[in-house]
């Protein structure tokens, strides 16, 4: 008889314990879910911010190299010294190399937003390509200026140097605009990812 009295009581107690555990687990699950969503947002933000900063650094490199290239082009015309003409060629080559690095970084930035149809990402790549093309044009014009100077054709050397300056400035401008477009693309992607994460919460 004692067993028959206590057995239902034991079952009821066990039921209450299980119910209590279940109710306690739900807030923990909600907390885990909130933490998980926050982690996803933070990771996405850090990833896109890093990509954006990389594009900005690349653009700054092109601008700095382009400024040196312009100075070198002027120096190549103003100075008859072979070392100055060689320096002009080297700086023009550095501008091209910087533009190529910038293009690669823009591609890396855009790879972070792979799968997202983004006009700004396309614009960034297009501008980066334009920057590379302009920097190569600057290199070619600088070379033409140096060669004209070697032939004592001052007029041709000056004209080519001016074109080299214009091309170098164009390369720098395109790189800066590419960086801006890449930054906008990254921000738009982050917002899109956050909206999607919010819908899933």
pLDDT digits (tens, 9 = 90+) for 124-154: 888 888 989 998 998 898 888 888 888 888 8
Judge whether 142 and 160 are in contact, CB under 8 Å: yes
Answer for the pair 57, 129: CB distance below 8 angstroms, yes or no.
Answer: no
- Cα→Cα distances 190→33, 47, 196, 198, Å: 20, 9, 10, 12
How does pLDDT run across 158-200, given as a tens digit for each residue? 888 888 888 888 888 888 888 888 878 777 777 776 776 665 4
- Look up residue 13 and give its two tokens: 């107690």
- Phi/psi for 42 (5° steps) reads -65, -45
- Which positions ≥6 away from 62 have C-beta within 8 Å? 95, 98, 99, 102, 131, 135, 171, 172, 175, 176
pTM: 0.68
Asked if residue 14 has pLDDT above 50, the reply is no
Distance, CA of 111 to CA of 114 (rounded, Å): 5
Of the candidates 182, 43, 40, the residue with the CA atom closest to the CA atom of residue 110: 182
């Amino acid at each position: 008889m004692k067993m028959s009295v206590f057995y239902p009581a034991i079952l009821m107690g066990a039921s209450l314990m299980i119910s209590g555990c279940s109710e306690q687990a739900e807030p923990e699950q909600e907390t885990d879910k909130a933490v998980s969503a926050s982690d996803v947002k933070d990771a996405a933000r850090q990833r896109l911010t890093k990509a954006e900063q990389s594009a900005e650094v690349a653009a700054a490199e092109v601008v700095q190299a382009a400024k040196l290239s312009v100075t070198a082009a002027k120096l190549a015309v103003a100075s008859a010294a072979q070392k100055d003409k060689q320096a002009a060629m080297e700086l023009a080559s550095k501008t091209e190399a910087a533009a190529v690095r910038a293009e690669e970084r823009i591609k890396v930035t855009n790879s972070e937003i792979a799968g997202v149809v983004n006009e700004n990402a396309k614009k960034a790549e297009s501008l980066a390509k334009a920057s590379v093309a302009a920097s190569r044009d600057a290199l070619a014009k600088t070379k033409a200026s140096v060669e004209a100077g070697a032939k004592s054709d001052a007029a041709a050397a000056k004209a080519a140097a001016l074109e080299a300056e214009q091309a170098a400035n164009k390369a720098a401008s395109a790189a800066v605009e590419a960086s801006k477009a890449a930054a906008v693309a990254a921000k738009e992607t982050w917002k899109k990812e956050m909206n999607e994460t919010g819908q899933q919460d």
